[in-house]
Amino acid sequence: MQEQTFFMIKPDGVKRGLVGKVLGRLENRDFRIEDLQMRMITRELLEAHYADLVDKSFFEGIATFMMSGPVVTGIASGPDVIKSWRTMMGVTDPVLALPGTIRGDFARAQENGAIQNIVHGSDSPESARREIQIWFGK
Ligand code: IDP
Ligand code: MG
């Protein structure tokens, strides 16, 4: 099914110079990059994006991490891109993420109160619609 997903290269990925590698993986899979923007995250954007995590004990750790430097946000499209991108990212915890996935190849174990895992991707069609609206207003 042809669809769109929202993706992000988090501050650790940008700081470590992995933007090209991450975008290259999307392009290698023949997904189309529809929109792309580098930016600093505001508190407002972060709380909207992670609305389901705001009450968690580790949210302040995430906030410090996610606002520690610029992120690259984008929209990718293609058949089943939402699930495919989640598969390409690997599971949330880098300790468990399989080699071959972005998190499994580039991320380390949790440090400083936040799991720093290089990338984000929408987890469902509803999340994709919501996140594209939050970040790109469309
Ligand atoms: P996801 O990024 O794989 O979709 P979510 O559960 O949606 O995982 O969590 C969003 C982000 O919050 C994670 O990618 C990670 O950076 C951070 N995070 C999630 N759970 C924890 C935790 O238990 N401790 C610290 N950070 C966490
Ligand atoms: Mg998530």
Please report where in the chains the tokens 């380390």 appear, as a residue: 108
**DSSP-assigned letter for residue 42:** P
Q: Give the HSE-up count for residue 6: Cα atoms under 13 Å, Cβ half-sphere.
A: 22
For ligand 1, pick from 62, 66, 122 the residue to mutate: most ligand atoms within 8 Å of CB. Answer: 62
Domain ranges of the chain: 2-136
Q: What pLDDT is recorded for position 111? A: 79
Q: Tens-digit pLDDT profile for the chain (138 aa)?
A: 899 999 999 999 999 999 999 999 999 999 999 999 999 999 999 999 999 999 999 999 999 999 999 999 999 999 999 999 999 999 999 999 999 999 999 999 887 789 999 999 999 999 999 999 999 999
ipTM of this complex: 0.98
Among 65, 115, 117, name the best residue to mutate to test ligand 1's pocket (greatest count of ligand atoms within 8 A of Cβ). Answer: 115
CATH number among 3.20.20.70, 3.30.70.141, 3.55.50.30, 3.30.560.10, domain 2-136? 3.30.70.141
Task: At 20, list the tokens.
Answer: 């090209």
